């Protein structure tokens, strides 16, 4: 909020907003929290993450435990992220943790997500590269099987249906249009949004033509042309750029001083920071970076184009999918990258809160208005003046309860 204001919070929701400091005498049972000099913004909502998959510099199903997932949700909260959507690669335990989190019984960011997600046999997401077990991804062989998988996930409890449409530069078989369409159709019968992993414009086109609702990554090989833009508008397709995933391949080499930065240190595991000093690792990453820099630039260009055209955009990072994508840190980098793409800090913040909610059809959060969920972050500097001020976290609130202080 930009002028002195007060919020009344009741039953986890904002029940009134008024100018000034609010009444001097409060009714019984109402607690006053003094926020003088603070800037209050909606909690960040990361619409594309993965939980319980990475610990330190390793990944694997063995890390999907209740403790690890809860730890990661608490870490997000410490960085001002009050809601996340885990888009795939989650084993059955996900459904139980999701239910408890959404009932408010767990600390940390509220967990939404897709469960395992729908992939391709011997295709994306690549089991070997990503170190995935069979229970982390369903791989239907026919349209009928895909439809059954969606029904099973809907019964078990999910908020989205994730599908992978990608051939890794022609190295892997891509999902057939029939299976993609069957998956999206089945999701719609269950009132769930279908969210596609895509990388290239050809996969984005396949996704849109199959009835997918959300592109879960930015298009990074080519500029989105006017025909695709028109198809997105007509189909109401939403967009999550995840610019940081490519930057994550080279930023640690570009900026070795990060290893001593307190904000980064609060997010990055010790094993990761140690590895940043390893010369051989740095050399490999530097080479990889050459491929990723143009992807970042194209992703920014497409974001600016879609934003200008009025497409609904949410903020996501794919944090937690690999050790390079560091939960908490990635979300703040994504904000900075959106501003580098030409958006104002206010636009970036809106995308990262209201936009992320809108991508999945949630209208009651991500905005400071009466009846919205009281998921809030208090800062000691104005993020609209400089997006980096979003790091100046004083306290984090979910459903009106404080769940974190400043990142430690
Ligand atoms: Zn992902």
Ligand 1 mean position, distance from CA 241 (Å)? 11
pLDDT the model gives residue 1: 45
The string of pLDDT tens digits covering residues 160-173 is 999 999 999 899 99
Ligand 1 mean position, distance from CA 18 (Å)? 40
Ligand 1 mean position, distance from CA 369 (Å)? 31
pLDDT the model gives residue 370: 97
pLDDT the model gives residue 295: 97
Q: Structural domains in the chain?
A: 43-113+217-366 (3.20.20.140)
Distance of CA 100 to the CA centre of its chain: 20
Ligand 1 mean position, distance from CA 120 (Å)? 15
pLDDT the model gives residue 152: 98
pLDDT the model gives residue 288: 84
Ligand 1 mean position, distance from CA 396 (Å)? 25
For the chain, list residues with pLDDT below 70: 1-2, 407-408
Ligand 1 mean position, distance from CA 374 (Å)? 27
Ligand 1 mean position, distance from CA 118 (Å)? 12
Ligand 1 mean position, distance from CA 48 (Å)? 6
**Is-contact 118 183, C-beta < 8 A?**
yes
Ligand 1 mean position, distance from CA 320 (Å)? 8
Ligand 1 mean position, distance from CA 316 (Å)? 9
Ligand 1 mean position, distance from CA 86 (Å)? 8
Ligand 1 mean position, distance from CA 231 (Å)? 24
Ligand 1 mean position, distance from CA 159 (Å)? 15
pLDDT the model gives residue 407: 65
Ligand 1 mean position, distance from CA 90 (Å)? 11
Ligand 1 mean position, distance from CA 50 (Å)? 6
pLDDT the model gives residue 408: 57
Q: In what order do the strands lie in the sheet with 194-197?
A: 161-164, 194-197, 214-215, 238-239
Ligand 1 mean position, distance from CA 397 (Å)? 26
Ligand 1 mean position, distance from CA 324 (Å)? 13
Ligand 1 mean position, distance from CA 349 (Å)? 21
The string of pLDDT tens digits covering residues 303-350 is 999 999 999 999 999 999 999 999 999 999 999 999 999 999 999 999
Ligand 1 mean position, distance from CA 317 (Å)? 8
Ligand 1 mean position, distance from CA 227 (Å)? 26
Annotate the chain with three-state secondary structure.
CCCCEEEEEECCEEEEEEECCCCCCCCCCCCCCCCCCCEEEECEEEEEECCCCEECCEECHHHCCHHHHHHHHHHHHHCCEEEEEECCCCCCHHHHHHHHHHCCCCCCCEEEECCCCECCCCCCCCHHHHCCCHHHCECCCCHHHHHHHHHHHHHHCCCCEEEECCCCCCCCCCCCHHHHHHHHHHHHHCCCCEEEECCCHHHHHHHHHCCCCEECCCCCCCCCCHHHHHHHHHHCCEECCCCHHHHCCCHHHHCHHHHHCHHHHHHCCHHHHHHCCCHHHHHHHHHHHHHHHHHHHHHHHHHHHHHHCCCCECCCCCECCCCCCCCCHHHHHHHHHHHHCCCCHHHHHHHHHHHHHHHCCCCCCCCCCCCCECCEEEECCCCCCCHHHHHCEEEEEECCEEEECCCC
């Amino acid at each position: 909020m930009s002028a002195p204001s007060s919020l009344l919070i009741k039953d986890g929701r904002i029940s009134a907003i008024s100018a000034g400091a609010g009444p001097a005498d409060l009714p019984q049972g109402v607690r006053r929290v003094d926020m003088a000099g603070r800037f209050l913004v909606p909690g960040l909502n990361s619409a594309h993450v993965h939980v319980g998959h990475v610990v330190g510099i390793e990944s694997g199903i063995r890390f999907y435990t209740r403790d690890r997932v809860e730890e990661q949700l608490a870490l997000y909260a410490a960085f001002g992220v009050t809601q996340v959507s885990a888009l795939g690669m989650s084993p059955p335990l996900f459904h139980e943790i999701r239910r408890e989190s959404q009932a408010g019984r767990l600390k940390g960011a509220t967990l939404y997500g897709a469960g395992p997600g729908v992939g391709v046999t011997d295709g994306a997401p690549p089991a070997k590269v990503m170190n995935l077990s069979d229970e982390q991804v369903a791989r239907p062989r026919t349209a009928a099987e895909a439809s059954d998988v969606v029904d099973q996930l809907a019964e078990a409890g999910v908020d989205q249906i994730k599908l992978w449409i990608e051939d890794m530069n022609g190295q892997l078989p891509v999902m057939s249009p029939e299976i993609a369409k069957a998956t999206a159709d089945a999701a719609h019968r269950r009132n769930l949004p279908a969210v596609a992993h895509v990388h290239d414009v050809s996969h984005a086109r396949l996704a849109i033509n199959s009835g997918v609702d959300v592109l879960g990554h930015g298009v990074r090989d080519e500029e989105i042309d006017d025909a695709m833009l028109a198809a997105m508008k007509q189909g109401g397709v939403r967009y999550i750029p995840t610019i940081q995933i490519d930057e994550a391949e080279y930023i640690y080499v570009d900026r070795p001083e990060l290893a001593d930065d307190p904000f980064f240190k609060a997010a990055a595991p010790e094993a990761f920071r140690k590895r940043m000093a390893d010369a051989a690792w740095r050399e490999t990453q530097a080479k990889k970076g050459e491929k990723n820099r143009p992807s970042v630039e194209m992703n920014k260009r497409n974001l600016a184009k879609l934003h200008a055209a009025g497409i609904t955009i949410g903020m996501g990072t794919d944090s937690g999918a690999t050790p390079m994508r560091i939960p908490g840190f990635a979300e703040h980098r994504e904000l900075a990258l959106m501003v580098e793409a030409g958006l104002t800090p206010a636009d970036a913040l809106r995308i990262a809160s209201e936009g992320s909610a809108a991508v999945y059809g949630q209208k009651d959060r991500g905005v400071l208005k009466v009846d919205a969920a009281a998921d809030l972050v208090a800062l000691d500097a104005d993020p609209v003046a400089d997006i980096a001020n979003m790091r100046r976290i004083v306290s984090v609130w979910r459903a009106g309860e404080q769940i974190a202080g400043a990142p430690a």
